A and B are shown apart, each in its own frame.
Chain A
Amino acid sequence: MCATCGCEGDGQVSILEPLHQHNLKDAHTHQHATKKLVDVEKDILHENNLLGERNRGYFDAKNILALNLVSSPGSGKTSLLERTLSDLKGELEFAVIEGDQQTTNDADRIHATGTKVVQINTGKGCHLDAHMVLHALQGMKPKNNSILFIENVGNLVCPAMFDLGEKERVVIISVTEGDDKPLKYPDMFYSSTLCIINKIDLLPHVSFNLEKAKEYARKVNHKLEMIELSCTSGEGLQQWYDWLKSKVLIPEAL
C-alpha cells in the first residue's frame, strides 16, 4: 500500500487524504509528493534575536548605552526617568524610547524635560520587540556617546523574552508592591542586570520587607546588582547616577 495516500497500487483507492487530487477513474497515475525531513534547529525567537544584535551593533558603533527598563505598571519608571533627565541635564546626553499600549502621555512627560523622545504604541501588544526599537531608532537618530533609555511596556512577564539589543536590563520594583515579586516573576529578575527598588520613602507606611525582597531577588539571580532609591525624597539617586556614569564611560572592548 502506498504510504502517502493509502491507495492500494492495484488501482483501488482505499483511503483518501486531502493531500492531492485523485482522479478516481484512473487511480495511481498521479505523482506522489515525497516527504522530507528538514533539520531546522533554530531558536524560536531567532528573528528577534538577530534584530536585537543588529541594534546592539548600532549602539556599540555609536558608543550608546542602551538600557531596557522593565517593571510592572506603576512602579515609577517614568518618574525615575523624569528625575534622572532633569538632574543630569548638561552632564550626559540622553534619548528615550517610550513603550505603551496606548497614548503619548509618557512621551509628553519626557518631552517636557527637553529630551529627545519617541513613543511606540504597541496597540494590543504586551511587550516591545527588537523590530519596533529598530524603527524607533531610524526616526530618532540618538547622538554618539549618549544614554538611551528604552522604557518597556509595564509588564513583568512578556518583555523578559525579547532582547532589544540593550546593554543592560534594569528591573524596577516599588515598595508598594509585594516583596515576593522576584519569586512570582522570576524570569524578569533572572534576565536583568540591575534591580532598582523604588519609593523607599514609603517604607515606614507599608509592610514591604526590603531585606526579604533583596534575598528573593538574589535567589533568582545571584549576579543582580541592587539600588534602593526614592524619586520623591532623592535618597539613593546618587548611587543610580554613579552607576549610569560608570557604565557610559567605558567603551566596549571587543
Chain B
Amino acid sequence: MHELSIVMSIIDIATEQAESAHAENIEEIEMDIGCLTTIDMDAFDFAWQQGVKDSILAGAIKKVNRIKGRANCYDCNTSFSLENVYDACPSCGQHLIHITEGKEMRVKSLVVY
C-alpha cells in the first residue's frame, strides 16, 4: 500500500501550494501518473478516498492524466510505445532500451480559491 504514502505526499504538496497562494480551498487538482510506475490506480483511488478526508483536498476534483509508456532503442534508434518495462524493441527485438515516458508522477496544477 505505498499508494497511501503517495496520496499523503500529494496532500502535503497541495497544502503547501495553497498556503503560499493564500487560498483556503482547492477546487481541482491535476496530476500526471505514468503507466510504467508502480502505482496501481485502484489502490490509488481507494487510498485517495480515505486519505483526503479532513484535508484541504477533501471535495476537490481529481484529474489524472495517464501517460503511456514510450522508449527509445539504443540498438536501432526506434522510438516505440511499451506497456511493460521489459518489452522488447518491436523493430529489432532487443532490450537495450531507454524509457522516455511513462514514469511520471507529478502534481501539475491546482485550482484554488
Which residues from chain A sit less than 8 Å from chain B, CB to CB? 4, 19, 33-48, 125-127, 129, 157-158, 160-162, 182-183, 186-187, 190, 216, 218-222
B9 touches A47 (CB 8 A): yes
Most buried by B among A38, A41, A126: A38
Which residues from chain B sit less than 8 Å from chain A, CB to CB? 1-2, 5-6, 9-10, 12-13, 17-18, 21, 23, 25, 27, 31, 37-38, 84-86, 88, 95-97, 105-113
Residues of A within 8 A of B17 (CB): 38, 40, 42
Main secondary structure of the interface of A (DSSP, over half): mixed
Considering the chains assembled together, what is the distance between the CA atoms of A45 and B109 in angstroms? 15
Contact count A vs B, C-beta below 8 Å: 100
A39-B108, A40-B109 known; 7 new pairs, CB 8 Å cut-off, are A34-B113, A40-B108, A44-B9, A44-B106, A48-B9, A161-B37, A161-B38
Residues of B within 8 A of A40 (CB): 13, 17, 107-110
Residues of A within 8 A of B113 (CB): 4, 19, 33-36
Residues of B within 8 A of A216 (CB): 86
Question: Lowest 4 A-B CB distances belong to which pairs?
Answer: A158-B2, A219-B86, A44-B105, A33-B113
With both chains docked as a complex, state the minimum distance between the C-beta of A74 and any C-beta of chain B, in angstroms. 20
Residues of A within 8 A of B37 (CB): 161, 187
